[in-house]
Chains A and B, each alone.
Chain A
Amino acid sequence: MSDNHEHSHSDYWKIYKWLVVLFVISVAGPWLAPGIKVIVLLTAFGIALVKALLVVSNFMHLNVEKKFIWFLLLACVFILLVFFAGVAPDVLNKSGNNWVSDSAAMVTHHVKHQENHQADPPPVVSSVKTNIVVTGPSSKGEELFKSKACFTCHQTDPSIPAPAGLALKAPKFMGDFWGKEREVELNSDPISPAFMPSGKFEKVVMDEAYVMESIEKPNLKVVKGAVAAMAPLPTNADERKALAEYIKSLSK
């Protein structure tokens, strides 16, 4: 049954002693020289690797076991490294060529100031690498405008075009928008969420009522010339009011 293990039996005590020695070094190293990071890492993980190999070859008898078990285990480790290689570029990075992860920046900032319990000023957040910088407390409407991605179609800053909105000819919310009268086309089927052209036009003032209605039912009255591609957004009345206020503030 285990005839091939006879020769390693007497070594167990010796291996154990080595394990304990290595263990002491791995704890003592960082304790004695905590500043030198490289030494800490080398001693901690290097020694862990050596200890693991000692246990695996001697206690688990891999030194006398059929070789393919080594292959199996090494294959598993290799697969894990493949996993790391494939996933790390995505999860590890907090910024890339054209993007910055705001949430990650905020969390790191938050963690750093945790101990001090100060009211920290909100970090300067760069949402798009085209230098929109938002400082100071943002209004609820503005936050909603960003979180519901309205800015992808509706331009709010003269220097930053809304890429999808250009193609769809979505109304721009800056400057000359609020309070002006515009021609809109009515939906021939007021109940359907999709837009069916009716050919009937109306003049409507771009005011709070129209904006709030359009957030809830965007295809009821579509501004003339625009493509009716906006999907109804799940919002409540408070949120629509906040958004309308924000849009109003852009036109001042």
Chain B
Amino acid sequence: MGLRVKVLATLVLVMFATLTTRLWFLQVLAAEQFKREAKDNAVRLIEVPAPRGVINDVNGEPLVDNRASVVITINRQALGDQTERVLFDLSQLLDVPADELGSRLDDPRYYVFSPIPVAIDVPKRVAYYIKEHWIDFPGVDVLQVPVRRYPSGSVGAHVLGYLGQVSKDKLKDPGFADYEPGDLVGVSGVESYYERDLAGTQGLVKYRVNSAGRNLGRIGEEQPPVAGNDVTLTIDARTQELTEGSLKAGIEHARTLVESESGYLKANAGAAVVLDPQTGAIEAMASFPSFDPSVFTRSISENEFKRRFGWARGRPLLNRAIQGQYPPGSTYKPFVAASALQREIVTTGHYYPCPGTWTAPFDESDPDAMQYVFNNWTAADLGSMTIATALAKSCDTIFYPMGYRYWDLFYVNDDELANDVVSHEPMQRDLGAFGFGSQTRVDLSFEQDGRVPDAEWKKTIHDLYPESFPEGEWFPGDFILMTIGQGDTLVTPLQLATAFGALENDGKICVPHVLDRVVAPDETVVREYQQNCRRVRIDERHLRYVRDALTGTVTGGGTAGAAFAGFPFDAVWVAGKTGTAEVDPKQDYSWFAAMTAGGGQEHVVVVLVEQGGHGATTAAPIARHIIEGIYGLEFSQFTDIEGTD
């Protein structure tokens, strides 16, 4: 029996050996790792948000600043098995359904251990209640954080942009290495483009915490946050408000108009740009429909986002001035004319016929030859006229032959290409020189390229998308349609404004911009915007000729003559161009581009209204209204103007 007791004792001895071995491993061999883990456990880094820089208009008037908001965050880990009860209690306090709070907690963008904001702008009463009853709210924290405030409401919303939680893609970007899930970042506009200036550096405080995340006091020195720099824009709040107001009023007026067989104009959207041609400074940039940027100070669900900003609402977040790409229609003609003059395809001394139709040259000996007939915007024969008058009256049938001449003179076909003849497409190059077909490099995010089509592009896009682009070959018709800004040509309103700036400026073309200067919180100037201008390689005399010709648009028999009836041209010089772009199957898109000067200032004004009918009908009166406002003239009323191109 004694032996068996010893057997049992031996078994127990094995137990001791096992435990001691494991203890030796944990406490001696792996101790360093566990010491680190214990330390990490008990120390929490709290990021103190840096006040974001203020965005001011050119006169120093704040467009965006900050206010303090009380935010409630929840740490999922600390909730434990009390999740349901805590969410229920919070939902009672905040008057938000518990499921909704729960769905915010499920946000996959956060780490398990990071606190998730579930409510913003919480009333003080609720904040105090939670602080007093902290023991009933494990993992729930009440914080004061600065949030964006918009003193002028939605004015300049598209330029200013808004903030949102940093996306997963951005987090992978090494440029955003110092960002963490849940951090706010500029998502669009100036907020996005000047993120680095505005953001500042967040402060860090180390706290000792217990397992419930309860703060037990600070460890060491606090690293205070560094406030972001302020940004002063070239945007003038008054001009911006005027531009937005004019665009909206003009669009609303357009919706009362009936044009042709398609009934009331839809005038669903639009954009307007006002810039200083001398510097490229953007004074106003409007996009319709607009949005209220303060919506983004709280987190909104995907559903709400879709409801507010989806297709059904006309995608109001889109800044159509830089993101909308449209056929320019006849607003393109001044640049085509300048190119044609430069290439000696037309001359200033000549008179050209302006019939109701023009037929592209064809092989007259072949009875089966296809005849391509191109219509003018009016069926009437307007007689013979100079290029200047052709611009003022927007005669398509004078421009079509120019396009054909480009084909005739310069186009290098495949056979010639095979023999190493270098293709140079002078019309495309000249248009490119005015900035078409590539980004203006404006200091705003998500700018689009526009499109100046050429043979190579046409072939490439056909190979890529044979369904949408069934034709891969370059034809004379491509040049012909390009002369009137149709076919595959696309521009953004800002590109057009920049190009008209060059026209007003004798060929000096400046990169458009909204930044004036960046100012540190102590008011020292960190940097000023450096103008970036170059020359368009077209003779000044041709540019002047075209510019002067465009004064004819707004007077007498010009296409916008009626729209500018009674305008005080003695006080303010105005030249411009209407455009009526066809976008099958929609109603015509209405364009007007104006150059103005007076009282020592110069402004380019470009207006586009989607499905706004003729250029003279909708866009020109809006442009006029903006010009009247800028120069302090008496406002005219929006009246019904008969459509001309």
Q: Do A and B bind each other?
A: no
Residues of A near any B CB (own CB < 8 A): none
